[in-house]
Amino acid sequence: MSDSEFDLDLEELSSAEEFLEYLGVAYDPAVVQVNRLHILQRFHDYLDDLDEMPESEVARRALYAGLLDSAYNDFVASDARTEKVFKVFRMQEPFSVEVPLSELFKQGAAHATKI
């Protein structure tokens, strides 16, 4: 399959602003300034979640524009810490650990015999 003009154009884009402008997504530069990497990562995540890609260039362009608009709006209404796009923001989430009571008693008994 040869690359379409749309695919070739996308390969040339590098900044969040370039993607937003190319796909015709209205944006506030102040929002993008603070969240550019988060927006692009969320856009990428949305693309990864797709089961299949439309074959039509027009349909793909519309899909990409919609997904980028959604990614951008995630950060208009929220912030990077809340959205947790990158792993570093998910690392401090609480987690539970289960230790059987019998293990605690074994460890307590072993420690008591050493004293």
CA distance 44 to 39: 9
How high is the mean pLDDT of the chain?
82
* Per-residue pLDDT, 105: 75
Helix H or strand E encompassing 83? helix 80-83
For the stretch 56-96, pLDDT in tens is 999 999 999 999 999 999 888 876 666 666 554 445 556 67
- Reported in sequence order, the residue ranges of the chain that DSSP labels E, i.e. its strands, are none
Token representation of residue 67: 């997904």
Q: In degrees rounded to 5, what are phi and psi of residue 110?
A: -65, -40
- pLDDT tens for each residue of 20-33: 999 999 999 999 99
Instruction: Give pTM, 2 decimals.
Output: 0.69
| Closest to 72 measured CA to CA, from 23, 44, 31 | 31
